[in-house]
Amino acid sequence: MSPEELGQVQAEALGRVKGAAGAADLLGIERDYLEKGGVVAKILASIPSLAPEQRRELGSGANRLKQAIQKAIEEREGELAAEELERERKAQGFDPTLPSAQPRRGSLHPVTQVTRELEDIFASMGYAILDGPEVELDYYNFEALNIPKDHPAREMYDTFWCDRNNHLLLRTHTSPVQIRALERFDPPFRAIVPGRCFRNETVDASHEHTFHQMEGLVVGKGITVGHLIGTMKTFLREMFQRDLEVRLRPGYFPFVEPGFELDVRCPFCEGGCSVCKRTTWIELCPCGMVHPFVLRYGGVDPEQYTGFAFGLGLSRLVMLRFQIDDIRHLMGGDLRFLEQFGC
Ligand code: DAH
């Protein structure tokens, strides 16, 4: 068979492929040309009877023919499938140019957002991030924090008790994790404890039965109030991206001595606004030097080590940050509220 004849066979085959109206036509072409007993097979079978110099030429020509037909069939299959899809779309009235329905995106709760931000700041200062149980023992929540059974400080903490014997409770603050940390880690160490707390109190715009705190605890040799102030200033600089003045007032908590209330110069105004109640100071957190009794309860020798602790009101910080005026929004679970904090 001459090259011209091969060319003719190919033209004829490709012509049939082009005109194929469906899968059945393509199968027929495959059978006629490519399968056993088909045109290509016959050409190959004729090779041994040829003169040696013609063998190679016809052999490679036949192979090219086979590949050309295979490729054409595949392409036509693709075209036919696309046409079929198009017909189906038309039949269904489907318009692929319309924009798709947007999926509803979730977002992080504002408390989670601020918690993560604080965790990043304190982690960058070398703090470990700890967790503790929300159902806590009286021992950790009160006793070991130097608040024995009949101590008047217990009245500050309206407690949800979990059993008749008043051993188990929903923790009223994150401070019990101070004791758990002291028991577990050898000083020096520094840690923060973000977490949920619970108090059985009348709910209003600034009191909620479920709220968030972030405890901080640093224990080591020679830790002083200076370290406490420096730490809080650094944290505030990171949070508000500028230096803010702080001041300490005396405060009382049985687990610190001395105890303080730490105020920060209002970052939202110059001369007084509604956030700082026109005082230019905002109460940031109670704090102090860890009471020697507390260190001892945690198994740490107060003769060797000192430490400071602070209890940031995380819920309050979130409210400050996003200018939320009612704490009940935070745990209320209303999607209309939460959807505003997408990020
Ligand atoms: N746990 C206290 C509360 O919820 C707050 C607190 C005060 C925490 C002083 C501290 C601290 O770590 O040093 O009322």
pLDDT, block means (10 residues), the chain with 343 residues: 85 91 90 90 86 84 89 92 89 87 89 97 98 98 97 94 95 98 98 98 94 98 98 94 95 98 92 90 96 98 98 94 92 93 78
pLDDT at 96: 82
- As given in the structure block, the two tokens for residue 322 are 């996003």
Q: Is 256 in the pocket of ligand 1 (CB under 6 A)?
A: yes
pLDDT at 88: 87
With a 6 A CB cut-off, is 291 part of the ligand 1 pocket? no
Give the atom of ligand 1 at the shortest distance from the alpha carbon of 156: 14
Give, in order, the Cα–Cα distances in Å from 142 to each of 136, 155, 170, 253, 300: 10, 11, 12, 11, 18
132-136, long-range: CB < 8 A, 24+ apart: 132/171, 132/174, 132/176, 132/177, 132/180, 132/193, 132/195, 133/171, 134/170, 134/171, 134/195, 134/196, 134/198, 135/162, 135/168, 135/169, 135/170, 135/171, 136/168, 136/169, 136/170, 136/171, 136/176
The tokens for 271 are: 């001369």
Ligand 1 centroid–CA 278 distance in Å is 26
Q: Ligand 1 test: best mutation among 173, 208, 212, most atoms within 8 Å of CB?
A: 173
Q: How far is the CA of 249 from the centre of ligand 1 (A)?
A: 14
* Ligand 1 neighbour 195 (Cβ under 6 A): no
Q: 250: cis peptide before it, omega within 30°?
A: no
Full-model pTM: 0.72
